[in-house]
Amino acid sequence: MQDELRRLHRELGTTFVFVTHDQEEALALSSNIAIFNQGRLQQLGSPSEVYERPSNRFVAEFLGDINILPVEGVGRDAKVEGQAIALPAPQGSARSHVAIRPEHMRLARPGEAGNALPMRLVDQIYLGAESRLQLQTRGGVPIVLNIPNSATPNAIEVGSEVLVGWDAQNSFLI
């Protein structure tokens, strides 16, 4: 049905208003997405713009999975749980959390470029082509990481500590 709606939209060249609570369907079918909260418009933009650069925490949490870490300090002094991190630009003191989509995080090695935090593996869920790792920072913040099964180390066990990394450009401040 989604393919047929996309084809009709392309061929007819007219505006469609499609209301759905299915996030994947909204991303797949839309040229623009409007996110509302209690009748108020929160963000309007292309699917990639709204997903990758949400305007606020509500939009970030509403559209897809998101990891949100509290940030202390700004600029070069920014830290998460005492660990120095690089923030995406622009930086501002009013925004106190950094958000990263699960697919933009990875298992990291010590000394690897980018941000990295030690976390404890709480659970590992096999999903076929990928696995969903449920983790927890030392401070207790829950984190979800989606990784291809080809990149999942066999030796990783629930309860063990791993290093989770991400690049600053794949995160955003909220």
104-130 per-position pLDDT tens digit: 999 988 888 789 999 999 999 988 888
pLDDT digits (tens, 9 = 90+) for 37-85: 999 999 999 999 999 989 999 999 998 899 999 999 877 788 999 999 9
Amino acid code (one letter) for 135 = L
Handedness of CA 85, 90, 93, 97 (dihedral sign): negative
Q: For the chain, count helices (H), then strands (E).
A: 4, 12
Same domain, 52 and 105: no
- CA atoms lying within 13 Å on the CB side of residue 120: 8
How would you label 47-73 residue by residue, b for 16+ Cβ within 10 Å and e otherwise? beebbeebbeebbbebbbebbbbebee
Same domain, 59 and 143: no
Q: What is the pLDDT of residue 22?
A: 83
Same domain, 24 and 44: yes
The whole domain housing 102 covers: 65-174
Same domain, 104 and 137: yes
Q: The domain that contains 118 carries what CATH number?
A: 2.40.50.140
Same domain, 93 and 157: yes
Q: What is the count of structural domains for the chain?
A: 2
| Token pair recorded at residue 131 | 């696995």
Same domain, 37 and 73: no
Last residue of a domain, one of 43, 64, 85: 64
- The C-alpha torsion from 75 through 80 and 86 to 90, rounded to 10°, is -50
Same domain, 18 and 4: yes
Q: Which of 15-24, 34-43, 151-160 has the highest mean pLDDT?
A: 34-43
Same domain, 80 and 101: yes
Identify the bridge partners of residue 145 per DSSP, sorted by sequence position.
133
Same domain, 7 and 89: no
Strand locations in 14-126 (E) = 33-37, 40-45, 67-70, 79-80, 83-84, 97-100, 106-107, 115-126
